[in-house]
Every structure is written in structure tokens, then in C-alpha cells.
Structure 1
Amino acid sequence: MSSLHLDMKDIQHAVLNMDNSVVDLETLQALYENRAQQDELDKIEKHVKSSNDNEKAKPLDKPEQFLFQLSQIPHFSGRVFCILFQSTFVECMSSLHRKLDILLKVCATLQSGRELMQVLALVLAFGNFMNGGNRSRGQADGFALDILPKLKDVKSSDNTRSLLSYIVSYYLKHFDEDAGKETCAYPLPEPQELFQASQMKFEDFQKDLRKLRKDFNACGTETERVCRDSSEDHLQPFKDKMEDFLCQAKTELEAQEVQLTKTHNNFLELTAFFSVKAKMGEKEVSPNTFFSVWHEFSTDFKDTWKKENKVILQERLKAAEESFRQAKEKASYSIKPKHASGMKAKLGTKI
């Protein structure tokens, strides 16, 4: 009570009216975690009862007095559990939704992105061209994904550039009309999104949803108990607010469970699409195994993409400057009309 600088009336108002304007959720969390357990409460209540019968009995010390007053708030534990779960539920669902959105977006781009397919087609075409003298390797229909991060290590004969830089340059000059402009769009998923995707685990998503489902059921039970045992004076606004929340939360939870299943299936289809096999000891391909390769490739590709875009921009500027210089020279070179001064011209003026 000393550290919070709050009166017990403020706490009671916050709990009964679900009002966080004076007592915030962090404070409610601390109060909930430090509430008296049943065995402690039994001892405190026993002492209070004996003190009423004995004038010489020692009064409760501040900590015990605080816990006793807290317990006098109608259904303090159940109400605060529901309030805290409501806040936690919103945060957890928002985080889960954001992560699944990233996964779905990355999976969709990798499986059907037109620009990405053009890049992969170039990798295959140049790979076949370089291996043209080898019948077994020069007519490949595809390649394994682990080739992608190694493109930067394949150098030209004079060691001045890599195969990756050549592919990026070729793509920009022949497939991207906006190359060298501010409107030029990166053709692959962003490295940061791929890194985030590589750190995700479907087991963690399932675990989080199971816990949310368990706490949701517990919140429903607590809400029923508080509403059943509360007096009319203390029933609202808790009853209406929690019933509305539970109805909405149930819908959101079910939708998120469906979304997780959809995302998981999309990911497994994507790994099959690229013929990626699970590592030894894995039941299925993990996001880390799959997206780590793409993250490394996209990081290298974007660094090179920026450099090549800069080169094209400089070439455009030089071309524009040269065009402007030629236009300026042409404008400064003018032919003056020749004035006629012969006999014919003189006779013509006299007629």
C-alpha cells in the first residue's frame, strides 16, 4: 500500500467497475500475484475473530491487514483473474495473428510470386548454360534450394564478379522496367520477414492456443461463479462486459485455430512444392530448416540488388546528362539566312 500510493477504495472501485484509470493492469497483476492464499487467509480470519473476543489481542500488522482488506473485496480473485485474462487474450491474439500473417504472406510469395519465379528461372537457365558441356548436369529441369546461398561464391574467370551479381544485373535490365528508379520493387520476400519466419515454430503456436483455450474455459467458469454469487449491487458492469468479451473471444479463438491449421498446411505444401525433405530427427520440415536458406539468399540478393540498382541509376544519369548536352549544343548552333546581293536581287528591288 505504501509503494502503490493507493487507497483500498481505489482498488475496490477498479475491481468492481473494471476501471483501469486509477489502478492500471500492471498494478492489478501485482495485487493478484500477492493476494493471500487460502491457508494464509484462514489464519488471518481466525486471528481477526479471536481479536474481536479479546481486547488485549495484538492487531494485525500492515501486510496482514492489507491482505485481509483485499480479501473483503467481493470475489476479488475471480474478478481480477477475468480482467487480467481479457487483457492477456487481446495481446496474445494480436501477436499470434501478426506472426501467422507474416508466414502466410511469405509462403504465398515463395509459391506464386511472378518476380521470384523469374529470378529462379534465370538461376536455372544460367546454371544449365554454364554446365552446357555436361549432358548430365547441363539440361537440368530444376535445382535444390541449398544452391541459392552459394551463387555468390561462383566467380567469373577474371574474379571480378559473382554469378549472383550477374543474375541480379540481368534481371534488372531485362525484367524490371523500373530498374534504377525509386519505384523499383524488391522481387523477393524481405530478409527480415524471412528471418522472423525462420524463428517460428508451429509447436509453439499450438501450445499458445492450448493455453489460451484452457484459460478461456477457466475465465468462463470464474465469470459464472462471480455472477452467480454476487449481489445485485456488485453484478454490473462485470456481468455484461465479461459475457460480451467471452462471446467475442470464443469466435476469435476458433478463427485463429482454423487459421493456424490453414497456415500449417500451406507451409507443408510449400516445402513439398520445392521438394524439401525433413532433416534427420524431424517429423516434418521445420520453418527454421526451410526459411533459413531463403533468408541467407534474400540477404545476399538484396545487398547486390541495391548495388546494381545504383549502377543502373548512374548509367541513366549519365545518359540523361549526355542527351541534355547534345540538345544544348544543337540549340546554340544556328544558321543565319544569307542576304541576296547580286545583280538580279538589285533589279528586283527596282521593279
Structure 2
Amino acid sequence: MDNTVVDLETLQALYENRAQDDEMESIKKHMKSSKDKEDAKPLDKPEQFLFQLCQIPNFSERVFCILFQSTFHECITSILRKIEILQRVCKTLQTGKCVLQVLGLVLAFGNFMNGGNRSRGQADGFTLDILPKLKDVKSSDNSQSLLSYIVAYYLRHFDEDAGRETCVYPLPEPQDLFQASQMKFEDFQRDLRKLRKDLNACSAETEKVCKLSSEENLQPFKDKMDEFLSQAKTELETQEKQLADTQKIFLELSVSFSVKPKAGEKEVSPNTFFSIWHEFSTDFKDQWKKQNKLMLQERVKMAEDCFKQAREKASYNVKPKHATGIKAKLGQKM
């Protein structure tokens, strides 16, 4: 159980190259037939090595359990990290104040532009597929897009830190949205099912080793594996529940945004939903960076102008006024 003696990579190689039942049968048969013969050929080194491995009590079962223990945490952590990204993005889109403000501006400016149209100028909402198209709506002089105007308006009226290093991006990060769009609940469920299957197999192999091992060969394998199996079972159950909760949150979110499944989908997939947001967030962040840079330049220029005015004011010299009246002349004579 000490991986510093035999590292896991070597242990994996030993497990994969262990003697199979038919190979072991042939080796034992050869040894038995040549036992009493003087001219018998000895086993080659590979066969000797396989035979020596076979002498370790329950070698195959022990190594399977040790290898599974080493990979379980990595697998469960990978699933957890992905689900946490999914949960974070869903929560931000559902309840994020800044997200609601941005969507409110999109609706307000859209209604204003359609003000002359009774059927479209007083909308209560819009479908998400409009968001990636905002960059294509240009002003009459083609100098800016509707998206760049919305971003600039948001920064000047809703973000007190605009133009400063402390300014926080109001939407989920494009990278998080891209990762979320690549996830599939079926993949999570498949991975957790495999972990559950392997955990059950590990539990069965541990029980077999403990049953067949002598007292001197039982520890520390038994205590360490019992502790691991108990912890792994709890972690797996927690992760299965978290996945079910996350899927429920996502489906509620897609309903709240009125997103419908694509043809061939039973339910809205993360790809269908988050791909739209990824494209919009990428475009929004490009404009957000540009507008922040412009506002930072404005702040710097204002600071320079204030400093210049203060320096000019400090350089004024006020000359004392010399008295020239009769009183002053009499004072000089005295």
C-alpha cells in the first residue's frame, strides 16, 4: 500500500502484463513435469517473473483495488469540477443582477427602435437567438453597432467601477459558457455509473482478499481499503445527487428563457442553450474591453487636465499694491 516503493505506473504495467489463467497453467505444468528431470530446461526470465508474481497472495485482486483507489479521486474530482462550472453559470444567468440589467437594456432599446410598430414596439420579452445578432444591427452612419451602444450605456449608467481595474465583467465568462456548452448529462450519468460499477467490483475484490488472506497478510490492506470504500461510497452518492439537482436547475433555466429543444432532442441540451450565450458573451466582452479602455483614457485625460489647472493656478504671482495716496506720503516723511 506504499506507492513510494512501487509507483502506480509500474503497478499498472504489472497488472496489465500479469499471467492469465492459461499461461499460469502452462508454467505450473512445465515446472511439475521437469521437477525430477536432470536435463529439464529451466523457465525463462519472463516466465520466472510471472510465476513469482503469482506467489503474492491475491496479487490480481489486491492490485485492482489499489489502482482503483488511486484513480477514483481523480475521476470524481473531474466530474465535480465540471458540474460546479455548470451550476455557477446557471445560477448567474438565473439570478445575476448584472445579467438582468443587460437583458433589460436589450429589451428597452429593442422596443425603442421598434417604437413605430405596434406589434413589436411594446414587447414583454424576446427570444435568446436575438442576442448574437445585436452586433449586426448598425447605426445610420455605420459607426457603431447596437451591441456597442448597449455596452457603453451599461458601463456609464450601471457600473460605478467602469474604466477602473476593479470593473467586473457582468456576464458569465465566455470560457465557462463554452465548457458548459460541451457538457452532456448523459456523459456524466455514464461516468458515474461506471464508477459505481467499479466501486462495487472493488468492494467485492476487497472482501475476497480479506476472506482468503492469512492474518499476517491482511494488514494494512484491510483497514486502508475499508476506509477508502466507505469514503468513496459517500462521495459517489453526493455526486449523483448533485448531478440530479444540477440537471433540474438547468431544465428550469431553459424553461424560464423559453428555449425549446432542437429537432431530435427530448429535452433542451446544454449545447443548444449555452452556445447562444457563449457567442453573445464573447461579442459582449470584446466591446466591454474597448469601452472600458475608452473610459479609462477619459479618466486619465480628466486627471491630467485637473492637475494642469492646479499647477497653473499655483504659478500665479500676486504683487503687493503700493500705496500712493497723501496718507502714505505723510507716513514716509515721519
Is the TM value for this pair above 0.5?
yes
Cα distance, 1:42 vs structure 2: 1.2
1:315 pairs with 2:298:
yes
**For the residues of structure 1 that align with 2:36 and 2:117, how far apart are their CA atoms?**
102
Task: State the match for 1:168 in structure 2.
Answer: 151
Task: State the match for 1:207 in structure 2.
Answer: 190
**For the residues of structure 1 that align with 2:237 and 2:3, how far apart are their CA atoms?**
28
Q: Could you report, residue by residue, the CA deviation over 1:238-297 in whole angstroms, capped at 9, with x for unpaired residues?
A: 010000001111111110111000111011011011010001110100111111110111
Q: Could you report, residue by residue, the CA deviation over 1:187-227 in whole angstroms, capped at 9, with x for unpaired residues?
A: 00000000110111100000000000011011011111101
SS of residue paired to 1:52: coil
1:78 pairs with 2:61:
yes
**For the residues of structure 1 that align with 2:317 and 2:112, how far apart are their CA atoms?**
54
Task: State the match for 2:181 in structure 1.
Answer: 198
Cα distance, 1:349 vs structure 2: 6.0
Cα distance, 1:350 vs structure 2: 6.5
- Structure 2 gaps of 5+ residues are none
Aligned residues: 334
- Structure 1 gaps of 5+ residues are 1-17
Alignment counterpart, residue 219 of structure 1, candidates 202, 209, 217: 202
Alignment counterpart, residue 185 of structure 1, candidates 159, 163, 168: 168
Task: State the match for 2:307 in structure 1.
Answer: 324
Cα distance, 1:44 vs structure 2: 1.2
**For the residues of structure 2 that align with 1:207 and 1:55, how far apart are their CA atoms?**
58
**For the residues of structure 1 that align with 2:333 and 2:220, how far apart are their CA atoms?**
113
**For the residues of structure 1 that align with 2:176 and 2:142, how far apart are their CA atoms?**
32
**For the residues of structure 1 that align with 2:271 and 2:55, how far apart are their CA atoms?**
51
The two structures, once aligned, show a CA RMSD in angstroms of: 1.1
Identity %: 77
**For the residues of structure 1 that align with 2:155 and 2:3, how far apart are their CA atoms?**
55
1:335 pairs with 2:311:
no
Cα distance, 1:73 vs structure 2: 1.1
TM-score (norm 2): 0.98
Task: State the match for 1:111 in structure 2.
Answer: 94
SS of residue paired to 2:82: helix
Alignment of 1:1-351 (within 5 A): 18-348=1-331
Aligned letter for 2:129? D
Q: Could you report, residue by residue, the CA deviation over 1:315-337 in whole angstroms, capped at 9, with x for unpaired residues?
A: 11111111111111111123222
**For the residues of structure 2 that align with 1:198 and 1:61, how far apart are their CA atoms?**
55
Aligned letter for 2:252? E
